[in-house]
Structure 1
Amino acid sequence: MAPKAPADSESSYQLIRRLVTEYGAKHWKRYAVAFALMALSAGTTALIAYLMGTIVNKAYVDRSFQAIVIIGLITIVIFCARGLATYFQAVIMSRIGNAIIAENQRRLFDRLMNQNLGFFAERHSSEFLHRLSTGANSATQVLRLLVTSVGRDALSLIGLATVMVIQDPVMSLSALIIAPPAMWMIRKLVKRIRAVAKAQFTGGTRLFQTLQETIQGIRTVKAFTLEDRLRHRYYENVAAVEYEANKMARVSNRSSPTMEALAGVAIAAGVIYGGYRTIEMNATPGEFFSFITAFLLAYEPAKRLARLQIELNAGLVGVRQLFDIIDAPSTEAADVDKPKLVMDKGRVEFKDVRFGYRENEPVLRGLSLVAQAGQMTALVGPSGGGKSTILNLILRLYEPQSGSITIDGQTITAVSRHSLRQQIAYVGQDVFLFHGTIRDNIGFGKEGATEDEIIAAAKAANAHDFIMSFPHGYDTHTGEQGLQLSGGQRQRIAVARALIKDAKLILLDEATAALDSESERLVQDAIAHLTQDRTTIVIAHRLHTVAHADRIFVIEEGVVAEDGRHEELLRKGGRYASFYRLQLQNQDEPELVAATA
């Protein structure tokens, strides 16, 4: 998703206003303290410039050493005050910035938790990481720019301009030479800055994406010797980001030569005029030196203020990336006000359910089936028929477009998602383990799980023995996505995680499809513990794993093609028998022959 950068100055203004009202207002007291300290720092800067004239006059006109000593002591006090003010305002501004970053991180995460799977399917996960890091920092940067520009630069400029006017009002006019051409150039650069900043963000997202995919898919990378191809892709992304960064450097600094030249002209005019007044009109040299000091000190804050619009617009592109996610409507809105699901026996029923992930591409086409309470219901059939979609709809990861799904007579869309999912245990083919220890991953199944409960669940899942074979036992780290464990070990930990939940409804999506025979046997034994006296809906491609199911539904093209028990379906000689015969075509088929005789 390529977000739109602010299209004009009005949208930029609205973004700034939103930052000020949503974040600035919350921290106004600390901002006020920081602003006061910046004002103190600005005042000391102007006072230093003013004292330069007094020092020169006392030294070269009045020739008073005592006055010089007093002014020197005052200067020490001024610089100490300036240093303390600068330190404390920097600490306060950093604390405010850190608080805003933390708030944005929480807001973004909360918003992501309120989205359904469709929202994530349309985006790459690296995009969220980049938006979080770039956007959160940009919000802080823009607010810091606003406060420091007014509190530090604007006040310093006002104070120094006041000194200049006091010393010589006519000579102060030379400073205005810079303003008109500088403002014209800045306005020309702003639009270009927005485009380059947006391109930088997009390139950075692609860089994150390639890096993340390479790390997560490192086994595939190694197995298919993709190192050179991915290295080439990554280098291309790096080069693109480097190119845009260089372009940003050129564009954002394009005004510098002209502004420096204009500043040189203004300073030269002031020096010539001030020298003329001192030499030809007998003006005191202190006024001249005070004016030049103030003028030179005013140059940097004036230049920063002139560049403010450039830096703000570059930062606002990042803010837009953050707000695009924060403002995204919730696709899985909170429904805590709905009644809780009261699951008694766990009977699941689909009535004429229709659903598709995309328009005009239906997956379920009026599907109806019943998973009886306390029984195992198996879903079999060709890939793409809608089996996994059925589990997704039970979990309310997606909502049906028509029809109804009930559990113990309660329509699941009429109850809260939290209460629904709390009473369902899910084990999939692609087991996801969180970064942490084995104990942590099993304990995720039940909040506040005790050590005894974790061990009992691991034993029931046939996982305790291999866990204890590790040097650190249950404190063994699983690695990212459980890569430090074998497939069978990950599956058994997932079963343990489901067991400890003690749910009445079990959903199994190809839980043993990717395992060898020995691991499959162990996981099947663990699943037997998990599903005992519970309503179980299992998806399987290996038909022998569901031969004992109480009811088998053949799902094909989004509808139930046939259903019954294993032996019944074999005798019918329909789609199930065809699938079964296909799987056993290279083996002896005594069971099939007996069943169909």
Structure 2
Amino acid sequence: MAEFPKKITDDPYGAAILIRRLVVEQGLGYWRQYLAAFALMGVVAAASAGATYVLGQVINQAYVNKNVAGIATLSGVTVLLLFVKGIGTYGHTVILSKISNAILAYNQRQLFAKLMNESVGFFSERHSSEFLARMTAGAKSITDLLNMLINAIGRDFLVLVAMIAVMVSQDPILSLIGLVAVPPAMLMLRKLVKRIKGLAHTQFTGTASIMETMQESLQGIRTVKAFTLEGAMQKRIDGNIAAVERNANKMARVSNRSNPLMEMLGGFAVAGCLMYAGYSVVALNATPGAFFSFMTAFLMATEPAKRLARLNIDLNSQLVGARMLLEVIDSPATEKADDDKPALKLSDARIEFKDVSFAYRTDEPVLNRMSFVAEPGKMTALVGPSGGGKSTVLALLLRFYEVKDGAVLIDDQPISDVSRRSLRHQIGYVGQDVYMFRDNIRANIAFGKENATEEEIVEAAKAACAHDFIMAFPLGYDTPVGEHGTQLSGGQRQRIAVARALLRNAPIILLDEATAALDSESEKQVQEAIEHLCQNRTTIVIAHRLHTIMHADAILVVEGGEIVERGRHEELLRRGGRYASFFRLQQRDTGYLAEISAAE
């Protein structure tokens, strides 16, 4: 079957469709402001044309009529017209800038709101710098595109029409000569548009790569320094920058390729006008004022004419950035809002995994029909080798991912049937890698509860054994934590995370190896804070160091996505199975390290 020709509406991000969408969805809401800007642009065009016409009359008063008073009067009129032009230019520029700023802010908010509705899995497949590039370059491309359209219609087109009116009023034949450059220029510009699209897309992705390397190098500066990777990172970013530079140079050559030909064609038009106008003045007794007025209008019309001729090229270069932003905003949310679902209602906070299977990738199962119960108000510990599926259990409880088979229930309510917000409000989470926001200590604790009072923050810090070290800082709770909390030690960050969870006062606590990366002294302090946190709460803890969960009410040994052993510490040791093997291995390593410390 023969294929039908591709329609312009087949691509939702095609130039015509996208421009129409941006005008209707984002520009139309500011039609009153745009109307005011158009009116001022009309004033600018009229003042420019008036000044051009008056200049011709000044020439006639000087060289034909020899009228000094007339010259003085017309000079005053010229000053007034140019002043009006300046006021109009200022007015429409300020109005368009305010509209652009509002649209820029709107799109940045839209993108951030969309990203907040994406799942954890969505971000695991992408680099954060990609979204920074889309937010900055993409949002700006939309405002630049709309400004181009408005300026093309309001400023350039109106000025061009006004200047053509002056030219025609002075000499219609000269006006026709001046337009000979238009058809060949338009034909040539059409061929450049397709090339510009590809180069603009490459430029966008290249800029994102630079941001990616910069972000990774700065965030991982300790690793970069420790492994002397400065040269490798410099080489990587040099390559990215060089690629962007080459593409930018290529884009500059292609986008400006039209200029020499347009200038040459314009030169032919100007030469033709000069020859005909000179002949008219010398042989046909035309007034020099008409000649001067015509040539001034013609020269003033060339710049807006060139901008209008290049409009298609400039629009297509901006459309790439606009498309990059809208593709993310338009894509279906991977974590759709479900606030319309009923809220989770807790009575005992009993957690049950019932035949749960899950895989991040097809044919690579992580959990295999896992079933267990975390009893209310008690601690359930998950232990076992890395990659067994322990952290996935917590991720499914928080609904970072959705269960493929089976069900996760809290007080016999499937968590998939309740809203995520209500579920997560009932959970306090402390992970191994604590994330600190770039703010002070008070704010980082206060994230645990909206509108938390100072007394509540301090009480939570005291219960988390964090108050003393916080008050040891000169600024106390106002102490900045730095990016990712780099101004605090690992133990201090963990205790602030525990304080954050305590402030939330949630009936369910999830701990993901919260002491695994700490030294013995810090571990003891954090462990004491965790004991406060877990009192009378349903707790699921992932433990690498088995001595930290010896008093857990239930210990589950997880391997290959299945629970291979379960019981209390003493019971599992008596069985002599996998748990006993892990425990003896850790005890041997701990004893060996203790002997080394004693010898030293």
- TM-score range, shorter-chain basis? over 0.9
TM-score (structure 1 length as normaliser): 0.96
Deviations 1:42-66 (A, max 9, x none): 1111112211221111221122222
2:230 counterpart residue number: 227
1:579 counterpart residue number: 582
Distance 2:217 2:332 in 1: 31
Question: Which of these residues, 211, 214, 228, is aligned with residue 214 of structure 2?
Answer: 211
* Matching of residue 346 in structure 1 with residue 349 in structure 2: yes
* Matching of residue 76 in structure 1 with residue 83 in structure 2: no
Distance 1:516 1:275 in 2: 93
Deviation at 1:8, TM superposition (A): 8.1
1:3 counterpart residue number: none
Which stretch of structure 1 is more off in the superposition, 182-191 or 109-118?
Answer: 182-191
Distance 2:119 2:362 in 1: 17
Deviations 1:203-261 (A, max 9, x none): 10110000000010011111111111111111111111111111111111111111111
Aligned to 1:585, the other structure's residue is in SS state: helix
Distance 2:213 2:198 in 1: 23
* Matching of residue 430 in structure 1 with residue 433 in structure 2: yes
Question: Which of these residues, 36, 41, 45, is aligned with residue 38 of structure 1?
Answer: 41
> Is the CA contact (8 Å cut-off) linking 2:55 and 2:78 kept in structure 1?
no
Aligned to 2:179, the other structure's residue is in SS state: helix
Kindly provide the amino acid, as one letter, of the partner of residue 579 in structure 1: F
2:295 counterpart residue number: 292
Which stretch of structure 1 is more off in the superposition, 428-437 or 335-344?
Answer: 335-344
Distance 1:414 1:10 in 2: 36
2:596 counterpart residue number: none
Identity, % of aligned pairs? 59
> Is the CA contact (8 Å cut-off) linking 2:174 and 2:273 kept in structure 1?
yes
User: Structure 1 residues 241 and 7, CA, compared in 2 at 3 Å: closer, same or farther?
Assistant: farther
Deviation at 1:472, TM superposition (A): 0.5
Question: Which of these residues, 198, 206, 231, is aligned with residue 195 of structure 1?
Answer: 198
1:377 counterpart residue number: 380
Deviation at 1:7, TM superposition (A): 10
Distance 2:13 2:519 in 1: 63
Question: Which of these residues, 564, 568, 573, is aligned with residue 565 of structure 1?
Answer: 568
Distance 2:29 2:12 in 1: 25
User: Counterparts in 2 of 1:87-166, with a 5 A limit?
Assistant: 87-166=90-169
* Matching of residue 322 in structure 1 with residue 325 in structure 2: yes
- Structure 2's unaligned 5+ residue stretches are 1-8, 593-600
User: Structure 1 residues 201 and 215, CA, compared in 2 at 3 Å: closer, same or farther?
Assistant: same
Question: Which of these residues, 545, 550, 553, is aligned with residue 547 of structure 1?
Answer: 550
Kindly provide the amino acid, as one letter, of the partner of residue 136 in structure 1: A
> Is the CA contact (8 Å cut-off) linking 2:12 and 2:18 kept in structure 1?
no
Distance 1:481 1:344 in 2: 36
> Is the CA contact (8 Å cut-off) linking 2:491 and 2:518 kept in structure 1?
yes
Distance 2:456 2:302 in 1: 70
* Matching of residue 511 in structure 1 with residue 514 in structure 2: yes
Deviation at 1:197, TM superposition (A): 0.7
* Matching of residue 465 in structure 1 with residue 492 in structure 2: no
Count of residue correspondences: 584
* Matching of residue 409 in structure 1 with residue 412 in structure 2: yes
Distance 1:562 1:103 in 2: 54
Question: Which of these residues, 534, 537, 544, is aligned with residue 534 of structure 1?
Answer: 537
Deviation at 1:29, TM superposition (A): 0.7
1:495 counterpart residue number: 498
Deviations 1:365-421 (A, max 9, x none): 111111000000000111111110000010011100111111011111111111110
Kindly provide the amino acid, as one letter, of the partner of residue 47 in structure 1: G
Kindly provide the amino acid, as one letter, of the partner of residue 436 in structure 2: L
Aligned to 2:407, the other structure's residue is in SS state: strand
1:595 counterpart residue number: none
Aligned to 1:584, the other structure's residue is in SS state: helix
**RMSD of aligned alpha carbons:** 1.4
Deviation at 1:588, TM superposition (A): 5.8
1:594 counterpart residue number: none
Kindly provide the amino acid, as one letter, of the partner of residue 68 in structure 2: F
Kindly provide the amino acid, as one letter, of the partner of residue 395 in structure 1: L
Kindly provide the amino acid, as one letter, of the partner of residue 546 in structure 1: I
Question: Which of these residues, 419, 437, 442, is aligned with residue 439 of structure 1?
Answer: 442
Distance 1:298 1:126 in 2: 43
Deviation at 1:587, TM superposition (A): 5.3
**Off by >6 Å, runs of 4+ in structure 1:** 6-10
Distance 1:517 1:43 in 2: 80
User: Structure 1 residues 68 and 7, CA, compared in 2 at 3 Å: closer, same or farther?
Assistant: farther
1:593 counterpart residue number: none
* Matching of residue 455 in structure 1 with residue 444 in structure 2: no
Deviation at 1:522, TM superposition (A): 0.2
Distance 2:468 2:352 in 1: 39
Kindly provide the amino acid, as one letter, of the partner of residue 380 in structure 1: V
2:598 counterpart residue number: none
* Matching of residue 241 in structure 1 with residue 226 in structure 2: no
Deviation at 1:586, TM superposition (A): 4.0
